[in-house]
Amino acid sequence: MKKILNYVVPSLSLAAIVFSVAAFNETQAATQEPDVMEVSTATAVQPVDLTYAAEKALPCVVHIKYVQNSKIQTVEVQSDPFDDFFSDPFGGFFGRGQRGQGGTRKQQVQTPKKTATGSGVIISADGYIVTNNHVVDGADELTVTLNDNKEYSARIIGADKTTDLALIKIDAKNLPAIRIANSDNVKVGEWVLAIGNPLGLTNTVTAGIISAKARTLGANGVESFIQTDAAINAGNSGGALVNTNGELVGINAMLYSQTGSYSGYGFAIPTAMMNKVVADLKQYGTVQRAMIGISGRDVKTQVDIEKEDGKDADYGTMEGIYVAEVVENSAAAEAGIEKGDIITEVDGHKVTKFGDLSGLIAQKRPGDKISLTYLHNKKKQTKTVTLRNEQGNTKVVKNADLDVLGADFREVTKAQKEQLEISYGLEVIKVNAGKMKEAGVPKGFIIQRVNDEAMNTVEDLQDIVKDASTSKEPVLVIKGIFPTGKRGYFIVQLQND
């Protein structure tokens, strides 16, 4: 197994971590008194007063408890003929498991109950709270505790894995909402506070500076992190990064460490990105993600790669984005951008690294026009580019739910499992007007896999429909079995041409 020295760690505090912290013993460091007491006449000078910022922001940061209940899941396990015989000589006849192909069998297992804690930031007086997607993803229950120890149940309004942001809501009024600053205006070296609930230590404030901007780590699909040396640990996820006025400039998301604990490098999602994601989740239920249609890397990285291959690289600049590939029929392709071009500006904003480009485009929607400046054969050009969504158009992308299929479903019964020799699936019990009828899916068909994902529950189908509806190819490839035992498949288009 390859040894990984550096870890990108989402700062979510698992219950096990919280409990282990509670078991620590407090110790008092021994000190030796000096023979002579020296009295200093110098006046202590604090470079900046952070008490105002802490006082303003602390009431706006909440504690989030995550609970995922125990579940029964069907998994494939390696088949052992001796284990199968001695543990169940009837080969799964009584429901212990069913043999699969290739030396595997399906077996039902019960997952343990999971609990974890994180943080969130109140952004409106009527109960909207921003946090990280990884704080709430998969939760069956979310409990929000305010700074004054009042507790509320929360529901998820929307979540975005690509930026690791989520919007939740509690039923409350007159809450202390934080003031939101424009993260584009923060400067490296500026003082900031990180506020959250690290390691179960609620209402904790740490101080530091902004160490860098527009960092990319490869942890999320879209990144333009604010880097800070304010201490961020497990449990800080979703908490606030605020300036000296107590205004929100970022949502704390993760730490970078060789050990898994804080070592001086914390990262926050900038409010410029957060504002757009929150607005989209409120209005559309999903993020309207704009795309130029390129893949690439920093110019310096490209130059270093070519040097290692013994080549001399000269692109006319060492700052910008090297275009490694242009997606066919994309906005970039339509604008005439080619492989080897160097993107240097977007709407007059200088682009020196990929995080700059990601941060600027993340604030846009499909259909927005941007002014793109780039070097082609070292010659500067500027063109207007109309951004598109992942599906290659400028239409609003909405999360589809099961209603769009126009059908009703239920988990297969024990009798169906025995008759058809299957261990899971969803029966189509009713077909109305909708996408299933258009594709010819009949009543009684048992869906086993959709887009290569096993369908054990109706929730599994809902999740895959939601994901596919916003993907580049909004299509469901449905595989299953007819009541007669014959296998079949259907192609379901989720969007109209």
pLDDT at 429: 87
120 is in an annotated binding site: no
Asked if domains 1-17+48-71+111-285 and 294-386 share a fold, the reply is no
Q: 235: annotated binding-site residue?
A: yes
End-to-end alpha-carbon separation of the chain, Å? 47
Out of 78-87, 98-107, 210-219, least confident range: 78-87
pLDDT digits (tens, 9 = 90+) for 121-180: 999 999 999 999 999 998 999 999 999 999 999 999 999 999 999 999 999 999 999 999
pLDDT mean over 60-64: 98
At 357-372, the pLDDT tens digits run: 999 999 999 999 999 9
Residue 110 in tokens: 């019960």
Q: What is the mean pLDDT of residues 194-212?
A: 94
User: Residue 299 — φ and ψ, nearest 5°?
Assistant: -60, -45
> Tell me: the pLDDT tens digits for 2-46?
333 344 556 554 433 222 222 323 323 333 333 434 444 444 545
* Tokens (6 digits) for 209: 């500076």
Q: Which of 88-92, 280-284, 444-448 shows the lowest per-residue confidence on average (mean pLDDT)? A: 88-92
Model confidence at 477: pLDDT above 50: yes
More reliable by pLDDT, 97 or 17: 97
Could you give the CA distance from residue 398 to residue 286 in angstroms, rounded to a whole number? 6
Q: How far, in Å, CA of 67 to CA of 131, rounded?
A: 16
Instruction: Round to whole Å and give the CA distance between 273 and 220.
Output: 13
Mean per-residue pLDDT for 268-286? 95
| Residue 237, marked binder | yes
**For the domain bounded by 402-493, which CATH number is listed?**
2.30.42.10
Q: What is the mean pLDDT of residues 463-468?
A: 87
Task: Tell me yes or no: is domain 294-386 CATH 2.30.42.10.
Answer: yes
Question: Using one digit for the tens of pLDDT, what is the confidence trace for 402-416?
Answer: 778 988 898 998 889
- Rounded Cα–Cα distance for residues 474 and 454 (Å): 18
Residue 236 annotated as binding site = yes
Q: Is 91 annotated as a binding residue?
A: no
Question: 171: which strand partners?
Answer: none
pLDDT in tens, 316-337: 999 999 999 999 888 999 889 9
Q: Where are the domains of the chain?
A: 1-17+48-71+111-285, 72-110, 294-386, 402-493
pLDDT of residue 145: 97
Q: Identify the CATH number of the domain defined by range 1-17+48-71+111-285.
A: 2.40.10.120
The predicted-structure confidence for 295-311, as pLDDT tens digits, reads as follows 999 999 999 999 998 88
Which residues are identified as catalytic? 134, 164, 237
Contact predicate 180/236, CB 8 Å: no
For 64, list phi and psi in degrees, rounded to 5.
-120, 125
